A = this chain, B = another copy of it.
Amino acid sequence: MFKKILIANRGEITIRVIRACKELGVPTVAVYSEADRTALHVRAADEAYCIGPAPSRESYLRGDRILEVAKAAGADAIHPGYGFLSENAEFAEACAAAGITFIGPNPRAIRVMGNKTTSRVAVFEMGVPLVPGMRENLQSEDQAVEWARKIGYPIMMKAAAGGGGKGLRMIMREEELLPAYRTAKSESLAAFGDDAVYMERYIENPRHIEIQVLGDRHGNIIYCPERECSIQRRHQKVIEEAPSPIVDEEMRRAMGEAAIRAARAVDYDSAGTVEFIVSGKSREFFFLEMNTRLQVEHPITEMITGIDLCKEMIRSAAGYVLPFRQEDVQCHGHALECRIYAEDPDNRFLPTPGRIIGLRVPGGPWVRDESGMYEGLDVPIHYDPMLSKLVVWGSTRERMVTRMLRALSEYKVKGIKTTIPFHARVLKNEKFLAGEIDTNFIDREFQPQDEARVKPFEDVALVAAAIKAYRQDKARALAGVGASTGGSSDASLWKRSGRLKRDPGF
């Protein structure tokens, strides 16, 4: 095992990695920008070094500085987390050159999968399905007919110059093809001064479903049951669950084996994720991309398999052989993750940096909080607004959902607005409960609902605000003699009045 691991990241993922290292008995080194001296990861690690000013490009993206810190501190491995340098092949190579293990896949895997074209070529050769479509523009009507048959219906006709829905034509069957071709061309000419168009399969009710893979340095690689991440806002994942409501054993095996083929295409030797777009209608799946890192939503896979992905990723980088085989990987129950963002769901999801003045975290059975928050933290304006991930497990999907609702109701973040109440509303949505979701779910179901919403406890809120105001005014009147200092004084007030209490109903 490594002597010391540096985590080149910030926020909750850094805490996650530090915890794994603690459990493995490996000392940790944190790095932080000047804006993050107060961050939790600085305190959680055994060592901490400042690597520069707030902007990422001057700190968390400064591979050179991070390597220098690693050498100075005597770290023999670097975990990049996600984002920042996690999918930077040059950095992975620089680590190798410096004799420091990069905890991630081989640089070639990062490079090939990091490029849309090369990754598609690589996996296509291994027989992984891509969204059927043309790679060039249509030349003639005959060619249109011919290609349409190859691609299969429904088909989306797109303007090469593209954009803004202009020149887009949906084609359900062959009769519609040529008329659509002509309108698309003229529209596109009118809109972009260019009549070039091409065709691609249209994916109905597109769902985002991905497969976690885990490889070691000895050629072993396994896949885990899928994660569904169709609940997105602005193409940003918001809620993820595992397994997917629409995937059965057979489809799971098919997707898993496709993912393994994709991974084998680049001799994948770490934790990674193969993302697919799936038609909610036909349940066909097509390769989107492969993420060559540990992903934000990895915990839900951990909860249903019992595999500690973060720990296994570190162990395999250290040269250990995977401690289990494909047939050992089980799928037990259901897991759900809600990403808690510093955004105001009642105000166009505006970011809400600021100081967390109060924090109470949910607990109890099968509830897992992955957080970078603490009471007193000033959420900096410079970085991603994700504060924490709330993860639950349940023996059934229904129990998973009711448990998450319970946990969300216990999660109190004070001082800044968060997306906690928004998650609760999504989880109560009929269609979500029925598993009828796709990547447009939130835009379709929510923006309107949010505005209109009636909040259930208005009177209680008014009562509370009234008492607060009354006590403050009274305190001022009393020239601030303690009446508003909360806790103790009220407790004692109450004690005095304890025996006078109204009898509750008997």
Contact residues of A with B, CB < 8 Å?
A: 15-16, 19-20, 22-25, 34, 37-38, 49-50, 65, 68-69, 72-73, 299, 302, 306-308, 310-311, 332-333, 355, 360-361, 363-371, 374, 376, 378, 395, 399, 402-403, 405-406, 409, 487-488, 491, 494, 498-499, 501, 503-506
Q: Known pairs A34-B498, A367-B368. 19 more at Cβ < 8 A? A: A23-B405, A24-B402, A25-B402, A37-B498, A49-B505, A50-B504, A69-B505, A69-B506, A306-B332, A306-B333, A306-B395, A308-B366, A360-B374, A361-B363, A363-B369, A363-B370, A363-B371, A365-B370, A376-B487
The CA-CA distance from A32 to B371 in the complex, in Å, is: 33
> Taking each of A15, A364, A366, A505, which has the highest tally of chain B beta carbons within 10 Å of its own beta carbon?
A364
Q: Which residue of B lies closest to A311 (CB)?
A: B399
CB distance from A304 to the nearest CB of B (A): 10
Which residues of B have CB within 8 Å of A370? 363-365
- Determine the residue in chain B with the shortest Cβ distance to A21: B406
Q: List 9 A-B contacts (CB under 8 A).
A: A23-B399, A23-B405, A34-B498, A69-B505, A302-B365, A307-B395, A355-B488, A361-B361, A364-B370
Question: Contact between B299 and A68 (Cβ–Cβ < 8 Å)?
Answer: no
User: In the complex, are the beta carbons of A65 and B506 less than 8 A apart?
Assistant: yes
Given contacts A72-B505, A505-B49, contact A19 B306 (CB under 8 A): no
Closest B residue to A400 by CB, please name it. B23
* CA–CA, A405 and B333, complex, Å: 27
- Chain B residues near A409 (CB-CB < 8 A): 22
CB pair A368 B364 closer than 8 Å: yes
Query: How far does the Cβ of A135 sit from chain B's closest Cβ, in whole Å?
Result: 43
Cα-based distance from A65 to B366 in the complex (angstroms): 34
With A24-B402, A369-B363 in contact, do A494 and B37 touch (Cβ < 8 Å)? Answer: yes
Query: Nearest Cβ in chain B — how far from A324, in angstroms?
Result: 9
A364 to B311, CA, bound (A): 13
State the CA gap A367–B491 with chains docked (Å): 32
Measured CB to CB, the closest approach of chain B to A130, in angstroms, equals: 35
Looking at the assembled complex, report how far the CB atom of A502 sits from the nearest CB atom of chain B, in whole angstroms.
9
| List of B residues within 8 angstroms of A504 by Cβ | 49-50, 69, 72
Q: How many monomers of this protein are in the complex?
A: 2
Q: What are the residues of chain B within 8 A of A307 when measuring CB–CB?
A: 395
| A68:B22 contact, CB within 8 angstroms | no
Residues from chain B with Cβ under 8 Å of A15 in the complex: 364
Complex Cα spacing A454 to B142, Å: 87
**Shortest CB–CB separation between residue A45 and chain B, in angstroms?**
13
Q: Which residue of B lies closest to A330 (CB)?
A: B332
**Bound state CA distance, A364 and B367, in angstroms?**
9
| Nearest-neighbor residue (CB-CB) of A506 within chain B | B68
A360 neighbours in B (Cβ, 8 Å): 374
- In the complex, the answer to whether B73 meets A505 with C-beta atoms within 8 Å is yes
Instruction: Decide if B332 touches A399 in the complex (CB within 8 Å).
Output: no
CB within 8 A of A332: which of B332, B361, B374, B503? B332
- How close is A340's CB to chain B, nearest CB, in angstroms? 13
> Which chain B residue lies CB-closest to A367?
B368
CB distance from A251 to the nearest CB of B (A): 24
Q: Which residues of B contact A37 (CB under 8 A)?
A: 494, 498
* A299 cross-chain contacts in B, Cβ below 8 A: 365
Closest to A404 in B: B23
Query: Which of A37, A308, A363, A498: most chain B Cβ within 10 A?
Result: A363
